[in-house]
Amino acid sequence: MVHIPKLTVSEEDSLSFVETGLSAELNYQMAPIDANYSQYLLFNPFIRSLDTLDFEENGLVLKAGSQLPFEGPKSIPDFTFFSSGGCGKVYLAGNKLFHERGEEVLKLDLSSHLGNMNAYFSIRGGEVKNKMFQFSSFQKCRIYLIIQDFVSNEFLLVEYDFISSTLTKIPFDFANSEMDSHRLVFENGPNRVENLYFPYLSLNDSLLIISYPFFNRISTITLESQIQNDFDFKSNLFKNRKKIPLKSTVLKDLKEYLEVTYDWNSDVRFGPILRLNKTYWFRIVEGEDSKTISLELFSENLKKIAEYDLRAIESNLGSFYFPFKGKIVFGVLNQGNEDFFRFHWVEIE
């Protein structure tokens, strides 16, 4: 008989935001400082500081940190994601990277490394909803990204080495036909807006994991052998994929685009693969209209072990979450008071 690990949800807890001026109603860019997720850096956009989320005797605490300069030689512009790893902190701002190492801030424009790829490209791989993307290796001075060419719509998996200042393309077969069928675009002259169909990227120091928000596919590629494996795990709790939009990919009418995108967003939604501890990986899946929240549990080698209906255990779990010291912090469905972040601990034995 297969052993199913026991999952428990704690009583409600809270974290004060009073001293930092943050609001519990919003999500903020976050990055773990180590592979054990023992602390986080959290970006405070109101004063542009990197605050520290830690665990002490009385529970979670948020400590005000130093400010990021907006002007001058060490300035860092507004960014979408940031990551902390073996070579310091790296910030993603549009198509550019800002590498903070010691007292230096180095600006890197990837376009100079992409050869004949069109100048119009974007960096993908992060989870936009929860604003987390651990793209830095904790052990090596390297980062891993997904690059999307806007003209050809080609996706590339790449590694950038800060020591040698080289960018290497990693051979990988994305689910291109599936992505094309779920891609929705609104175009108005030179301006373009796309739905969030882009693949996620997760990593440890020997393995890259690619997954998708619209279906259950999980792909792995080992950095040493560069062998790719694809997995399509079925579920008894949720659908295996979103419905494919009936409208054409490129829409010229904004109202039509918003309607089709709303329907697409309201369907089942798969989160990225995240590290829980040295034994497990996990993925959160939201059901249609976010009525259900499920957790898939995977072994070290990405074999599915179990799945859990979290809302059946605690109905007040929301959709904001992050791993922390071998557990998962889950915000409540309705925060209510912006000065206190209310949450539950989800723990697996």
Alpha helices in the chain (DSSP H): 176-182, 254-266, 310-313
In a domain, 250, yes or no: yes
**Domain annotation covers residue 155:** no
Q: 336: pLDDT confidence band, cut at 50, 70 and 90?
A: confident
Q: Quickly state the pLDDT bin for 119 (edges 50, 70, 90).
A: low
Structure confidence at residue 96 (pLDDT): 86
Domain membership of residue 119 (yes or no) is no
**pLDDT mean over 9-31:** 90
- Assess whether pLDDT exceeds 80 at residue 1: no
Any domain includes 162: no
Confidence of residue 51 (pLDDT cuts 50, 70, 90): very high
Residue 238 falls inside a structural domain: yes
Element (H, E) at 186: strand 185-188
59-63: strand order across its sheet? 30-32, 40-44, 49-56, 59-63
- Token digits of residue 323: 């791993």
| For residues 177-184, average pLDDT | 94
pLDDT band at 315 (very low <50, low <70, confident <90, very high): very high
Please give the average per-residue pLDDT across 291-304, as a whole number: 95
The distance in angstroms from the start CA to the end CA of the chain is: 17
pLDDT for 133: 94
Query: Beta strand pairing status for 250-251 and 228-232?
Result: unpaired
pTM of the model: 0.93
User: Does residue 209 lie within any of the structural domains?
Assistant: yes
**In the chain, how many domains are there?**
1
- Name the residue among 333, 283, 340 with its Cα closest to residue 307: 283
Which of 219-228, 264-273, 333-342 is predicted least confidently?
Answer: 333-342
> Which residue's entry shows tokens 């072994």?
299
Share of the chain above pLDDT 90, in %: 70
Domain range holding 231? 171-275
CA distance 278 to 299: 9
Is the confidence at residue 204, as pLDDT, over 90?
A: no
| Residue 49 CB contacts under 8 Å (≥ 6 apart), including other chains | 20, 43, 64, 65, 66, 67, 68
Pairwise pLDDT comparison (120 vs 315), residue with the higher score: 315
Dmax over CA atoms of the chain, in Å, equals 62
Cross-strand pairs, 281: 275, 298
pLDDT digits (tens, 9 = 90+) for 121-140: 889 999 998 899 999 999 89
Which two tokens mark 141?
């001075």
Q: Is residue 69 part of a domain?
A: no
Q: Which residues contact 62 (CB under 8 A, 6 or more apart)?
A: 15, 16, 17, 19, 20, 22, 42, 51, 52, 53, 54
**180 lies in some domain:** yes
Which pLDDT band holds residue 95 (cuts at 50, 70, 90)? confident
pLDDT at site 52: 94
Q: At a CB cut-off of 8 Å and minimum separation 6, what does 80 contact?
A: 29, 92, 93, 94, 126, 128, 131
Closest-CA residue to 45 (of 29, 56, 60, 58) = 29
Residue 193 has pLDDT above 60, yes or no: yes
